[in-house]
Amino acid sequence: MQQHSAAALAPRTGAERAAQATSGLVVESITKTFGSTTALNDVTTRFSRGTVHGLIGENGSGKSTLVKIIAGIHHADTGQVSLDGDLIAAPGGGGNRSRVACVYQDGSLIEELTVGQNIDLMIEPEHRGALGPSATWSRNLLDGIGLSSVSLDALVSTVPANEQRLIEIGCVLAKKPDVILFDESTSTLDQHGVDRVLQSMRDGAAAGACVLFVTHRLREMLAVAEDITVLRDGVLVAEFDAASATEEKLVQEMAGREVAGFSRRLTASTDTLIALTAADLTAPHCGPVDLKVTRGEIIGIGGASGNGQAELIRALAGEGVHGGTVHIGDNQLRRPEDGPGTGVVFVSSDRRFESLFSLLSIRENYTLALDATSGHWWSWLSRRREVETARTLADKFGLVRRSLEQPVSSLSGGNQQKVAIGRAIAGAPAVLLIEEPTEGVDVRSRYDIYRSIIEVAETGTTVVFTSSDAGELRALADRVVVMARGREVAELRGEEVTEEAIVHAFSTATAGHEQSSGSTDAPASGYRTERVPRSNGRAWDPSTFVLLALIIVGLGAYATTRDVRFASIDNIGGILLLSLPLILVAIAQLPVMMVGEIDASLGSMMGLIVVGLSFAPDLPVPLLIGGAIVGGAILGAFNALLVVVWKVPAVIATIATLGIFIGVARILRPTPGGLISFDLSAATSTMLGSIPLLFVVAVVFAIAVDYFIGRTRRGLRTRAVGYSTPRALQLGVKSAAYKAAMYVAAGAIAGLAGITLAGQTGVGDAGVGAGYTLLSLAVPVIGGAALAGGRGTAIGCVLAALFIAQVQTFIPFIDLPSGGYLITVGVLTVMALIAASGSASPLRALFTRPSRERK
């Protein structure tokens, strides 16, 4: 590579580099717009194999957009990307991206699944041979990246961020891709984690891959990259050899002008008034901790990732406190909701879900933080003042935006962080708690945030923040509390606050603990370093079956005491027959729920199919069954078109098709009429002794569905889409295709449900499916499915449908009004939803206190 002087840096154009060769990753004339915003404008460059390339730029410069185009998350408007002459990205989504892998800033692992299941998702079977026998290859992968202590059965949510990132990188390297993209992959890691990630980049390049590293941490960039590409406002402005670059010059190229540096505050607050006191404070994985912070003081909380820093700062905000007290001045902070009243503002690192209102505009987010929660209920907000305040704050932090009225969700991650930090600082709270203040923020904006934190501290605000960056702790904090294994292991003040001292404090504390004979014992807080499996990541919970079975048996026993005829063979057979359409329509709803959607049209779909069957009484039974399945699949495909292709929200789309299907059925049969095939009715009522044959078939079908969900790769991918569509997409799962397939499958199974309903009804009746609209949603939930997606069981649907049919049959035996049946269904559905929101298991939810888990 050609060398350049540090003074001039001799920038080369992307077109010149692309012309040097056709091998490697070649980006040609890529342009991408989002509405009126041009994210990338005619970008052309080349990244060679066997090299770590750096890609830098300020927030909103287009870095992540370029990475996502290469990875296949976004499609370019014009231009193309090729690898060794083969097309991998083109407008409209053409190209083969199987040779590209990406490690994303926010991670791609599905937290609700286990470590082993995530590895299964990420590594295709063809890439597993080098990892050893099929029974042990996942274990070999973890052992090979130094994670022998991590259980394959542990939920990802229990694994520290450092180790989650290493699992992702290990999976990426195991696939031996030709292009590896690291998009802000070190932003949440401590120095130990950073070192391991940087080494993995070198390893990937040494293996012949083209490695592209996107980061705002310029020291890391210069430590690992061989050449650096700079983007500014969507345009490629410079490319340099890393050996001839300096941090100062790179910042200048990113900003387009010289940027003032930053030096730490030399004079700390001398105020002796105690603003925040934590006494014997304990939280999950943290404590007990005692802390006193004076007015105007800036306290940093550091340590290796996953050692209780996040839990401590949240406990200081009143969240997750297990014991001890937090006082703001003389007022005790008991709950997070008490924070605003005591002058506490907490800024979470989870800006998308906790710090910001993503769907509201920039202006509205500022207004809600500064004005909307104050004043009398009749007070009017001045739009002029709102706009002026929002513009002042946006300009102060260099917010890249096209308008103050654009949704915050449309901003880049770093710009979202600027909004979250800026509005918190602007409120001049008594105590400001910040989790990772500059995560994903460019250098210039980081300096602006540092200055603003110091400015607000000098007005008397107490600031406590966590950071995984020892350099950031040194730059900002008057005092640093170092955490290890959930406990404070060191406190550094003034000149003692150096990067070396911070790293030394937590590394020696961890090493000392590991060498002690009690290394497996938890400290007083109950914090443990080893990961104890909480779940095996099943799509269902056995306690759901136990609970439903107990209820069914209990109700049956009680009903028999009221009327012995309830336990007769004929009545039991009738209950099984009654449950058949309900079982099938619930199983039809299940695949849609599994991908996080709903289909409110299944009941009306059944009614339309019954009406259709009433026009063909003489056709053979196999042809009628096949026609019902195909017809249902076509109706399901129509729903998929609305929801997946045209992006209509599922509730709106399927309520609309519910009306369409009922309307068509009523046009065809304004009044009930037309006979259903006698042979079809006979087939649906065939008995094996006292058990309907179709009930046995439905149970076998349910077992097959559960096997697909729980034991196949496609089932695992379906669940991944339900848990997190964006992360599933990052893992290579074609989320849209899976959602569309589930709607089609739902329609086909609803066709089977229509067959059973037609056999029982005997005539074409447009309204016969109306009663199944609510039940198709309620039964899967009662059976253990989650409306949010990812969890559900077909056998649970069978048991729940049996219970509903049992209740429906029980009502006449005790002379209750028919409305009691509907009330029972409604109450059970609400109970199931409450249980599911508090715990994965409805049975366990009866005996345990619901816990809040961050996403």
Match 């008057």 to its residue by tokens.
478
Indicate the Cα dihedral angle 522, 526, 528, 534, nearest 10°: 130
Domain annotation covers residue 267:
no
Cβ 811 vs Cβ 818: under 8 Å: yes
Q: Please tell me the distance from the alpha carbon of residue 631 to that of residue 635, in angstroms, as a whole number.
A: 6
Domain span at residue 698? 542-843
Task: Find the mean pLDDT for residues 357-381.
Answer: 73
Task: Evaluate if residue 431 carries a pLDDT over 90.
Answer: yes
Distances 643 to 348, 596, 636, 653, 725 between C-alpha atoms, Å: 33, 12, 11, 7, 14
pLDDT at 848 over 60: no
- At residue 642's C-alpha, the angle toward residues 637 and 646, to 5°, is 125
Higher pLDDT, 269 or 420: 420
User: CA-CA distances (angstroms) from residue 88 to 75, 76, 670?
Assistant: 11, 12, 55
165 plus 183 within the same structural domain: no
Report the range of poorest mean pLDDT among 50-54, 349-353, 379-383: 379-383
Query: Quick one: which of 487, 457, 473, 467 has its CA closest to 290?
Result: 487
- Measured from the Cβ of residue 695, the count of other Cβ atoms closer than 10 Å reads 21
* Low-confidence winner among 323-332, 510-519, 594-603, 615-624 (lowest mean pLDDT): 510-519
Q: Give yes or no: residues 199 and 219 share one domain.
A: yes
CB burial of residue 646 (10 Å; 0-12, 13-18, 19+): exposed
| Burial grade of 140 (CB within 10 A; 0-12, 13-18, 19 or more) | middle
Residue 639 — very low, low, confident or very high, per pLDDT cuts 50/70/90? Answer: very high
Q: What mean pLDDT is predicted for residues 214-218?
A: 85
Looking at the domain assignment, is residue 529 inside a domain? no
Residue where one domain finishes, among candidates 515, 532, 567: 515
Average pLDDT over residues 514-540: 44
The answer on pLDDT for 358 being more than 90 is no
Query: Which of 97-106, 210-219, 671-680: highest mean pLDDT?
Result: 671-680
Average of per-residue pLDDT across 93-114: 81
**Same structural domain for residues 630 and 706?**
yes
| Predicted pLDDT at 135 | 61
Does 610 have pLDDT greater than 90? yes
Residue 681 has pLDDT above 70, yes or no: yes
pLDDT of residue 534: 39
156 and 247 within one domain: no
Indicate the DSSP class of residue 361.
B
> Does 493 have pLDDT greater than 70?
yes
pLDDT: is 378 or 228 the higher one? 228
Residues 764 and 710 in one domain: yes
Question: What does each C-alpha distance from 736 to 3, 548, 726 come to in angstroms?
Answer: 47, 34, 11
Question: Are 493 and 471 found together in one domain?
Answer: yes
**In the structure, what pLDDT confidence band is assigned to residue 830 with cuts at 50, 70 and 90?**
confident
The answer to the question of residue 810 being in a domain is yes
Task: Check if the beta carbon of residue 311 is closer than 8 Å to that of residue 281.
Answer: no
Length of the chain: 855
The verdict on 125 and 244 lying in the same domain is: no
CB 483 within 8 A of CB 301: yes
C-beta separation of 461 from 469 below 8 A: no
- Range with the largest mean pLDDT of 161-175, 621-635, 770-784: 621-635
Mean per-residue pLDDT, 737-747: 96
Rounded to whole angstroms, the Cα distance separating 316 from 339 reads: 10
Question: Which DSSP category does 641 fall into?
Answer: I
pLDDT computed for residue 1 by the predictor: 35
- Six token digits for residue 539: 């799509």
> What pLDDT is attached to residue 447?
83
Domain membership flag for residue 528: no
Cβ neighbours for 363, distance < 8 A, ≥ 6 positions apart: 386, 387, 390, 404, 405
Q: How far apart are CA 275 and CA 6, in angstroms?
A: 48
Statement: residue 587 has pLDDT above 90: yes
Evaluate whether 443 touches 453 at the Cβ level (below 8 Å).
no
pLDDT at res. 259: 64
Percent of the chain with pLDDT over 70: 86
pLDDT of residue 721: 92
For the four alpha carbons of 304, 852, 795 and 550, in that order, the dihedral sign comes to positive
Positive or negative CA dihedral for 353, 357, 361, 362? Answer: negative
298, 251: one domain: no
The confidence score (pLDDT) of residue 524 equals 36
Contacts of residue 806, defined as CB under 8 A and 6 or more positions apart, other chains included, come to 552, 555, 556, 559, 575
Q: Is the pLDDT of residue 517 over 80?
A: no
Token readout for 643 is 């929801």
Question: What does the alpha-carbon distance between residue 559 and residue 553 come to, in Å, rounded to a whole number?
Answer: 10
383: enclosing H helix or E strand: helix 383-396
Phi/psi zone of residue 543: left (φ > 0), alpha (ψ -120 to 50 degrees), beta? Answer: alpha
pLDDT in tens, 244-266: 888 888 888 887 766 666 776 76
- pLDDT band at residue 851, thresholds of 50, 70 and 90? very low
Cα end-to-end span (Å), the chain: 44
| pLDDT for 842 beyond 50 | no
Residue 66 is classified by DSSP as H
**pLDDT in the model for residue 832:** 61
Report the alpha-carbon distance of residue 766 to residue 672 in Å, rounded.
7
Are 242 and 278 part of one and the same domain?
A: no
pLDDT at position 393? 87
For residue 527, tell me if it sits in a domain: no
Q: Is the pLDDT reported for residue 626 higher than 90?
A: yes
- Helix/strand/coil for 292: strand
Most confident residue range from 67-71, 530-534, 851-855: 67-71
Contact 167, 159 (CB under 8 A): yes
Q: How many CB atoms are located within 10 Å of the residue 388 CB?
A: 11
* Cis preceding linkage at 726, omega within 30: no
pLDDT score, position 556: 87
Q: Looking at the domain assignment, is residue 848 inside a domain?
A: no
* Position 605 pLDDT exceeds 60: yes
Average pLDDT over every residue of 637-644: 96
Task: Please tell me which residue, 561 or 304, carries the higher pLDDT value.
Answer: 561
Q: Are residues 144 and 197 in the same domain?
A: no
Please give the Cα distance from 370 to 393 (Å, whole number).
11
Q: Is the pLDDT of residue 820 over 80?
A: no
> In sequence order, what E strands does 149-220 have?
179-183, 210-214
| CATH number of the domain that residue 693 is part of | 1.10.3470
Between 383-396 and 362-370, two packed helices, what is the crossing angle to 10 degrees?
Answer: 100
Q: pTM (2 decimals)?
A: 0.74
Please give the C-alpha separations between residue 252 and each of 59, 230, 415, 472, 633, in angstroms, as whole numbers. Answer: 14, 10, 19, 20, 59
Q: Return all residues near 150 (Cβ < 8 A) that are at least 6 apart.
A: 115, 142, 159, 163, 167, 531
Whether 527 has a pLDDT exceeding 60, the answer reads no
What confidence category does residue 513 fall into, taking pLDDT thresholds of 50, 70 and 90?
A: very low
How distant, in Å, are the alpha carbons of 650, 653, 746, 787 from that of 597?
Answer: 6, 11, 11, 8
**Domain boundary pick from 136, 153, 176:** 176
pLDDT recorded at residue 18: 46
Answer whether 640's CB lies under 8 Å from 811's CB: no
Please tell me the predicted confidence (pLDDT) of residue 514. Answer: 44
Confidence of residue 505 (pLDDT cuts 50, 70, 90): confident
Task: Write down the mean pLDDT value for the chain.
Answer: 83
- As a dihedral over the C-alpha atoms of residue 317, residue 321, residue 323, residue 328, rounded to 10 degrees, the angle is 10
537 inside domain: no
Give yes or no: residues 219 and 361 share one domain. Answer: no
Q: What is the pLDDT of residue 665?
A: 96
Identity of the residue numbered 354: E
86 in any annotated domain: yes
C-alpha closest to that of 462 among 308, 316, 289: 316
Helices 247-255, 443-458: inter-axial angle, 10-degree rounding: 90
Reference 330, options 289, 281, 276, 266; nearest CA is 276
Weakest-pLDDT range from 86-95, 155-164, 484-493: 86-95
The single-letter DSSP state of residue 77 is S
How deeply is 429 buried, as exposed, middle or buried, from its count of CB atoms within 10 A (0-12, 13-18, 19+)? buried
Q: Is the pLDDT of residue 85 over 50?
A: yes
Closest C-alpha to 200, from 157, 239, 245, 168: 168
Residues 6+ apart with CB under 8 A from 383: none
Q: Alpha helices, DSSP H only, in 459-498?
A: 470-476
Q: Is the pLDDT of residue 818 over 70?
A: no
Task: Provide the edge-to-edge strand list for the sheet that holds 37-47.
Answer: 37-47, 25-34, 78-83, 86-89
Q: What is the pLDDT of residue 355?
A: 81
**Residue 278 belongs to a domain with what CATH number?**
3.40.50.300
Overall average pLDDT of the 792-816 stretch: 85
Residue 260's pLDDT is: 65
Q: Report pLDDT for 124.
A: 83
Indicate if 294 and 251 belong to the same structural domain: no
Non-local (6+) Cβ contacts of 347 within 8 A are: 355, 420, 421, 424, 432, 433, 434, 435, 437
Q: What percent of the chain lies above the pLDDT cut of 90?
A: 37
- Predicted pLDDT of residue 543: 77
| Average pLDDT rounded to a whole number, residues 674-695 | 91
Is residue 560 a contact partner of residue 568, using CB atoms and an 8 Å limit? no
Compute the average pLDDT of residues 401-412. Answer: 85
For residue 224, with 0-12 CB atoms within 10 Å meaning exposed, 13-18 middle and 19 or more buried, which class applies? buried
Most confidently modeled of 499-508, 740-749, 811-820? 740-749
User: Residue 462's pLDDT band (boundaries 50, 70, 90)?
Assistant: very high
Domain count, the chain: 4
Residue that finishes a domain, picked among 176, 211, 226: 176
Quickly list DSSP for 575-609.
HHHHHHHHHHHHHHHHHHHHTT---TTHHHHHHHH
CA 190 to each of CA 145, 284, 421, 454: distance values in angstroms, whole numbers, following the listed order: 17, 20, 22, 23
Rounded Cα distance, 784 and 791, in Å: 7
347 vs 764: CA distance, rounded Å: 60
